[in-house]
Structure 1
Amino acid sequence: MKKTLILVRHATAEDQNFRIKDFDRNLNSKGLSESLAMGKWLVQEGIKPDVFLSSPASRAYKTAEIIAGQYKLPIDVIQTKDGIYDGGPRAYLQAVNTIPDEHSTLILFGHNPDITYFAEYLSGASIGSMKKGSAAFIEFKNLKWEEISAKTGDLVLYKTPKQLREEE
């Protein structure tokens, strides 16, 4: 059975400053609109994630929350994994490898640079740097989640909020 991993970099967040810990930075108005646009587009395209997995950091979780809302799903469907915040690409792989095999589509919300490295690690594709609020779709043929590793997937689509705005 085909597996689809949708990697979403959190949308635009407020700037870093000494008053707010990086972990607690929230989305700004641009980020809220990017998340909404990506969520609407995913629903319109008929893409149905079975599992929502997010970094617990505010900006990633809020991106996940807004997208889940477009599916009319309660926020308690969003699972969090601490390592996605600062555990590096290995933590992303560990999170993906532990998904139960009955699920075919996973949407994972994380942070740069790790999410870009992870997308390139899995697919062998060169993405550059994932834009804020963008989504990379990687497909795996005839693999279980636990078998996914380096260059086992194909990058089939990369979509940015800017592309969505230009398509309107």
Structure 2
Amino acid sequence: MYIRAKTIENMNKTLYLIRHATAEDGGNTPMFRDFDRELTSTGIIESARMGKFLEAKGIKFDLIVSSAAERAKATAKIFAEQLHYDADAIVIDDAIYGGGPRSYLAAVNQLDESVSFVAVFGHNPDITFFAEYLTRADIGGSMDKASVVILEFDDIKWAEVSSKMAKFLGYHSPQNITHS
């Protein structure tokens, strides 16, 4: 189980699904693994901007879980920095990369009840499919890079999370946010 106890057990849960930011193009070279793609300068800026946006909204994560792929981990670390979250406390879940939407569900279902505000960093198309699976919302086919879907679960445990159980609270991307 993922544990980072900071909150008292709360039956209301908030899940932030975050797609990794813009990464370098893998090209067609067999020496270049998709798993190892790093963020571009644009991706770094997108991540910092979105992290700062959430910080300005007063968001505090109890736990951050990330795919093991380099671009997702880097995105999570930049968000963590902006949100004053210890980057060394990020939980890396190897199953999320390439594991399909079921791997996201497994990650959520095994969350400890002591955490109420959780961010999961991952990849398209799986993270978009997962967001739509949890809600009745149409995310629009594909989450933008570095975008955030915010979902809420009322009066259930993480282990009970399943299809169409989430309330869609919002979708934010670097293209549609403003800072005051």
- In the superposition, the TM-score normalised over structure 2's length comes to 0.90
CA distance in 2 between counterparts of 1:110 and 1:100 reads 20
The residue that corresponds to 2:3 in the other structure is none
Q: 1:5 aligns with which of 5, 15, 29?
A: 15
CA RMSD of superposed structures (Å): 1.1
Which digits, 9 at most, give the CA deviation of each residue in 1:59-89, with x for residues without a partner?
0000000011112333211001111101000
Contact 2:59 2:83 in 1 (8 A): no
Gaps of 5+ in 2: 1-10
CA offset at residue 124 of structure 1? 1.8
Higher mean alpha-carbon deviation, 122-131 vs 71-80, is at 71-80
Q: 2:176 aligns with which of 154, 157, 163?
A: 163
Q: 1:43 aligns with which of 55, 73, 77?
A: 55
The residue that corresponds to 2:160 in the other structure is 147
DSSP-derived class of the 1:136 partner: strand
The residue that corresponds to 1:14 in the other structure is 24
Q: Higher helix fraction: Structure 1 or Structure 2?
A: 1
Which digits, 9 at most, give the CA deviation of each residue in 1:35-78, with x for residues without a partner?
00011111110111101000010000000000111123332110
CA distance in 2 between counterparts of 1:4 and 1:58 reads 25
Gaps of 5+ in 1: none
Aligned residues: 167
Whether 2:150 is the aligned partner of 1:137: answer: yes
Q: 2:138 aligns with which of 126, 131, 144?
A: 126
DSSP-derived class of the 2:96 partner: helix
Contact 2:105 2:162 in 1 (8 A): yes
Whether 2:129 is the aligned partner of 1:96: answer: no
Whether 2:128 is the aligned partner of 1:116: answer: yes
Q: 2:81 aligns with which of 54, 69, 78?
A: 69
The share of aligned pairs that are identical, in percent, is 50
